[in-house]
Amino acid sequence: MLLWTAVLLFVPCVGKTVWLYLQAWPNPVFEGDALTLRCQGLKNTPLSQVKFYRDGKFLHFSKKNQTLSMGAATVQSRGQYSCSGQVMYIPQTFTQTSETAMVQVQELFPPPVLSAIPSPEPREGSLVTLRCQTKLHPLRSALRLLFSFHKDGHTLQDRGPHPELCIPGAKEGDSGLYWCEVAPEGGQVQKQSPQLEVRVQAPVSRPVLTLHHGPADPAVGDMVQLLCEAQRGSPPILYSFYLDEKIVGNHSAPCGGTTSLLFPVKSEQDAGNYSCEAENSVSRERSEPKKLSLKGSQVLSTPASNWLVPWLPASLLGLMVIAAALLIYLRSWRKAGPLPSQIPPTAPGGEQCPLYANVHHQKGKDEGVVYSVVHRTSKRSEARSAEFTVGRKDSSIICAEVRCLQPSEISSKEVNMRSRTLQEPLGDCEEVLC
């Protein structure tokens, strides 16, 4: 009985006593630190069959070693750790598990950010500064950071204390993808910045305009193609086409190069001086003009031609209408007969009496003599002529007096004619000669 009492006195109260502890070192833990885990028994009680766990999952097993080296700590090393082992408590051995311990790995410095000053799209020839920026944790501010710069897979500057890289007189060849790397001196942490695209903007050169059409001058209905190209200049390039300073189309070239404008010739207004313009974010240049002439036409250079051309069809149509009206009028007049004033009276014998005849004889001695023949209308034609003398009681006959001009009068080339009106009875036609 006394023996059993002595044994019970040496049996520990397992349910109430914490026999194992898990420790993480150092504390706090930063990126790059050598992280060590230690599973320790109460009052340094010897342990065996030690197992380590992270977030409830088995991590490592050791028969006698109570320490586990995790290597350089990283952000991924964070988690809840625990351990288990067999505790040797004479005269018994039993298995115990520690409580979980949270391991927080703190960031030594954030990933760097690369920037270009004054801009990631500098103009050609300007100074560009690449700056790699990051900051150490306040608890580790005594560390020294080293910087390196890279472009398109090549190292531009090895690790050094300077966080900036200068590019004097930037050229198009300096365009590309840049990034920087940062690491603490003597440490194992290394972080890289996101890539930064630098595009050096070069001004556009003077574009060249080319006209493409058939072997001869185009005519209405033919196709004409305009090609515009700037030999150099940073894309994107906007090309604009002009006809006599009036824009007729534009195209964008995202990668530079040549652009074209294809159009059909609709009228003579499509002839003239064509040019093109190239523009990017740096400059703008205009090509030399090229003249486009149409087959069988002349391009008018006066401003008035621009508004006369549209009115030509309307003018021609108006002239055609007027001509048609005159033609209809003349046809109707011919069907009705000649005008009354053109119908001479007829003589009794069927002959027509001349209304008036004047002869200027210039031969021999009779030079300067004017012969006149005057007729009058007979009574038999009175009825016919009455319709032309409406409103008059009787007819009057105009007689001309014929004189033989004197030499003095001939030299002055003046012939004095005196007229008189004779109220004579109407009779047969008479011929008076002088």
Query: Which residue ranges in the chain fall short of pLDDT 70?
Result: 1-18, 90, 296-314, 332-434
pLDDT given at position 82? 94
CA–CA dist 47, 401 (Å, integer): 171
SS (H, E, C) 354-408: CCCEEEEECCHHHCCEEEEECCCCCHHHHHHHHCCCCCCCCCCEEEECCCECCHH
- Taking residue 201's Cβ as centre, other Cβ atoms within 10 Å add up to 20
pLDDT given at position 383? 39
Task: Provide the pairing of β-strand 105-106 with 29-30.
Answer: parallel
User: Does 2.60.40.10 match the CATH number of domain 20-106?
Assistant: yes
CA–CA dist 264, 279 (Å, integer): 26
Class of CATH domain 207-292: mainly beta
pLDDT given at position 242? 96
pLDDT given at position 333? 58
pLDDT given at position 410? 42
pLDDT given at position 301? 34
Which CATH number describes the domain made up of 113-198?
A: 2.60.40.10
Give this prediction's pTM: 0.54
Question: How is the chain split into domains, by residue range?
Answer: 20-106, 113-198, 207-292
What's the CA angle centered on 416, arms 410 and 418, to 5 degrees?
150
26-51 per-position pLDDT tens digit: 989 999 999 999 998 888 788 889 99
Q: Could you tell me how many helices (H) and strands (E) the chain has, helices first?
A: 5, 30
Q: Which DSSP symbol is given to 172?
A: G
Q: What is the largest CA-CA distance in the chain?
A: 202
pLDDT given at position 219? 87
